[in-house]
Amino acid sequence: MYSVPSLASELGVSTTPVREALLELSNRGMIVPMRNRGFKVQGSSLEDLENLFEMRELLERFAVVNAARKRLKDIEDLKELADAVAVAVKARDVRNYLETDRAFHEALVSRAGNPRLTKMIMDLRDDMRLFGIDSAEGEERQRASVKEHYQLIELAAKGDTKNIASLMSSHIMDWQPLFRKALMSQAARPL
C-alpha cells in the first residue's frame, strides 16, 4: 500500500506531482486506488500479459509493414538508435537498454505516418511489465534483439513487407515465454 504523503516525503517532493503520477498509473491499470488508504500495486495476470503481447504484435507488425511500403530512405537516425541499443546491451545496462529500445521502436513505428497508431503502440509497450528482463535469458534475448533491429531497418529500406512482418512478430513474441516464466515464478513465491 502506498500513500501520496509518504511517497512525497520519501522522494522529497510535494504531494501534487506524486498524486498525478499515481493517478496516471491507476489509469493505466498498474495500481488500484484504495479509498482513504492509498494505492495498491495491481498484480499482473497471465491473461493480461497474453493480451498485451497479442495487441502489441498485431499493431507493431502493421506499423512496420506500412513503413516498409514507403521504402524508407533516411535511416541514419534509426541506425544510431540501433547502435545505442547495442551499446547498452554490451554494457549490460538494462535501464539504458529499455530507454534506447523504446526510442528505437518509437522511431521505427512512427515511420508508418500514423501518430495515433504510434501512440497506441507505445502505450502498450509502456503497459508491459518486464518480468525477467534482467535474468540470464533476458540478457540473451536483449543480445538477439540487437541484430534484429538492424535487420528491421534493412527490410524497411528494401520495402520487404513480408519479411519485416515476420521478423517483427518474432522480435516481439520471442519475449513472451521469458515474461510468462518470470511472472509464473513471481506468482508462485510466498508473500
Residues 182, 127 share a domain? yes
Residues 146, 52 share a domain? yes
pTM beyond cutoff 0.85 = no
Residues 141, 118 share a domain? yes
Residues 23, 89 share a domain? no
Residues 65, 35 share a domain? no
Residues 28, 53 share a domain? no
Question: 16: domain range?
Answer: 4-41
For the segment 144-152, the average pLDDT, to the nearest whole number, is: 97
Give dist(CA 121, CA 81) in Å, integer: 18
Secondary structure (H, E, C), the chain: CECHHHHHHHHCCCHHHHHHHHHHHHHCCCEEEECCCEEEECCCCHHHHHHHHHHHHHHHHHHHHHHHHCCCCCCHHHHHHHHHHHHHHHCCCHHHHHHHHHHHHHHHHHCCCCHHHHHHHHHHHHHCCCCCCCCHHHHHHHHHHHHHHHHHHHHHHHCCHHHHHHHHHHHHHCCHHHHHHHHHHHHHCCC
Give dist(CA 165, CA 61) in Å, integer: 5
Whether residue 113 is predicted with pLDDT greater than 70 in this model: the reply is: yes
Straight-line distance from the first to the last Cα atom of the chain, in angstroms, rounded to the nearest whole number? 14
CATH of the domain at 29: 1.10.10.10
Whether residue 100 is predicted with pLDDT greater than 70 in this model: the reply is: yes
CATH of the domain at 89: 1.20.120.530
Residues 160, 69 share a domain? yes
Residues 142, 165 share a domain? yes
Residues 58, 37 share a domain? no
Residues 50, 114 share a domain? yes
Residues 24, 63 share a domain? no
**pLDDT higher for 82 or 52?**
82
Whether residue 44 is predicted with pLDDT greater than 90 in this model: the reply is: no
Per residue in 58-84, pLDDT tens?
A: 999 999 999 999 999 999 999 999 999
Residues 92, 184 share a domain? yes
Number of domains in the chain: 2
What is the pLDDT, as a whole number, of residue 189? 60
Per residue in 29-41, pLDDT tens?
A: 667 777 877 777 7
